[in-house]
Amino acid sequence: MDWANYLFGFKGRINRAKFWLGGLIIVCWMAFLAALVIVAGLGGKDASFSFNVEDIFRAFDPDSYKSLTWAGVPTLVAKASGTVLFVWVYIAVSIKRLHDRDKSGWWMIPFFAIPGLMSQFGGRLPDESYWVIAAGTIVFVLYIWGFIELAFLRGTSYPNRYGRNPLGKTHVSRGGDRGSWSRSTQGWDQQSELE
């Protein structure tokens, strides 16, 4: 497997198992980097350090910079560099997973960016407004829909505009009619899903 393209590239397709593996790799990197920061003493007096998906959206929030001090700069640099790395890998793996579902990578905007921004800035919206409740419900539905699309639904069993089937189990033959494709599918093979 080409690990550099798998973790950092945006072209091609990956199956569900590789999507989950990408998530596991991110979590392991987070734990390793957090332990490294704590051992190096950058975690501060309380010796706690963590990464969170909301960290990327805090970068767009001016209120998050008000409590910044020079003593916190090394921790901020470690956290920012780690967060950028983890979000890059997550987006790269997710876009390839969307490609497997024959969807454009632009679907990451409603599945990832809009829920993240709503999570960061939603607390500043008025609580008693019906449109805020409706927007929150729509964002929640988008988040759940995106999670189901990425993590649970099977990819296309035929070559699509993003590449061939990553499981390699289906053959596509061009029909006699211009532009028509016939798809032949085989049964699900657990071993090839894990490969």
75 in Cβ contact with 33 (< 8 Å): no
Under 8 Å CB-to-CB from 153, ≥6 apart: which residues? 16, 101
Tell me the torsion sign for CA atoms 40, 43, 44, 47: negative
Residue type at 40? A
What's the pLDDT score for residue 48? 56
What's the pLDDT score for residue 178? 43
Task: Please choose, from the candidates 154, 155, 159, 156, the residue with its C-alpha nearest in 3D space to the C-alpha of residue 181.
Answer: 159
∠ Cα 85 161 10 (to 5°): 10
Could you report the per-residue pLDDT of 85-116, keeping only the tens digit for each?
999 999 999 999 999 999 999 999 999 999 98
Residue type at 167? L
51 in Cβ contact with 86 (< 8 Å): yes
Task: Please choose, from the candidates 169, 155, 180, the residue with its C-alpha nearest in 3D space to the C-alpha of residue 100.
Answer: 155
Going residue by residue through the chain (195 aa), what tens digit of pLDDT does each one get?
899 999 999 999 999 999 999 999 999 998 898 888 888 776 555 555 666 767 777 766 777 767 777 767 777 778 888 888 999 999 999 999 999 999 999 999 999 999 988 888 877 877 777 888 888 899 999 999 999 999 999 999 999 999 999 988 755 445 444 444 444 445 555 555 555
Tokens describing residue 131: 């449109």
